[in-house]
Amino acid sequence: MKSYLAAAVQMTSVPDLHKNLAQAEELIDLAVRQGAELVGLPENFAFMGEESDKLAQAAHIAQETEKFLSTMAQRYQVTLLGGGFPIPTDSGKVYNTALLVNPSGQELSRYYKVHLFDVNVPDGNTYRESTTVMAGTKLPDVCVTENLGNIGLSVCYDVRFPEIYRHMSDKGAHILFVPAAFTAFTGKDHWQILLQARAIENTCYVIAPAQTGINYNRRQTHGHAMIIDPWGMILADAGDKIGVAIAEINPQRLEQVRRQMPSLQHRIFN
């Protein structure tokens, strides 16, 4: 593992696949021009709209999005995370899928979101992700890369379930991806502190691409894509505008924190 720059992309995705992919490419280009070698796109980066519309277009979205991720990774010579897009299943529902590809456009890791967002938010909005999404049944793998470290994947609501991240740290993760479309209401209170907690308790870098602004109808997302170091320090925060958060991933910093705070070695209960 070497020192390198990573980018957490922040988008305002809408119910239009091609507009979203065009926006994503602009932001990948921006990140690469600033030196990023690992780039993460947020949950729902390819399509963010009504669940029924997503379901109706799922096969097309899946095909175009996988092709897009492979093409972009090769074109810009980066390792690229697509942080969440629908892939149809035999059940008629979709998997909310995170896909990591290398600079050759080849798949490194694939994760189907396990925890589905079925919540009555106090702002009056109700979310039932399980009406159209099938939950994954497997804990995420940790992808071992030669130069970028060991990378674990999760998606959005997963961040409230620390056991999934402890599993990844047990498997040797250095970097935890948390691509999200966090609601504005919950995000203002919980987003940053949850990300910092996952970084601190696992002594890992956290890279959290995000959705921001009004995506469709009353759906408003929190923003604040960020990168956090293993001590819990916020290295970069994209605020509430479309853009990128870029910061250094430094193996010496990782080793220093783990040496100074060896909590993973002190665990009693597994």
Q: How would you write the pLDDT of the chain (270 residues) with one tens digit per residue?
A: 999 999 999 999 999 999 999 999 999 999 999 999 999 999 999 999 998 899 999 999 999 999 999 999 999 999 999 999 999 999 999 999 999 999 999 999 999 999 999 998 887 778 899 999 999 999 999 999 999 999 999 999 999 999 999 999 999 999 999 999 999 999 999 999 999 999 999 999 999 999 999 999 888 999 999 999 999 999 999 999 999 999 999 999 999 999 999 999 999 987
Could you tell me which residues are beta bridge partners of residue 237? 226
- Position 107 in a domain: yes
CA distance 32 to 129: 33
93 is catalytic: no
Start-to-end CA distance of the chain, whole Å, equals 27
- Position 166 in a domain: yes
Write down the catalytic residue from 43, 93, 129, 143.
Answer: 43
143 is catalytic: no
CA-closest candidate to residue 176, choices 139, 146, 212: 139
Write down the catalytic residue from 37, 54, 129, 156.
Answer: 156
CA distance 235 to 132: 36
- Position 178 in a domain: yes
The number of domains in the chain is: 1
In order of 6, 49, 207, 254, the CA distances from 203 in angstroms are 17, 35, 13, 7
CA distance 188 to 161: 18
Write down the catalytic residue from 66, 113, 143, 204.
Answer: 113
- 82: domain range? 4-262
- Position 127 in a domain: yes
CB atoms < 10 A from the CB of 256, how many? 13
Residue 134 sits in a domain whose CATH number is 3.60.110.10
CA distance 134 to 117: 11
CB atoms < 10 A from the CB of 91, how many? 8
204 is catalytic: no
Q: What are the DSSP E strand ranges found in the chain?
A: 4-11, 36-41, 79-88, 94-101, 107-112, 118-120, 126-128, 142-145, 149-153, 175-177, 205-208, 210-216, 219-222, 226-228, 234-237, 243-249
- Position 269 in a domain: no
- Position 163 in a domain: yes
- Position 270 in a domain: no
- Position 268 in a domain: no
CA distance 232 to 178: 15
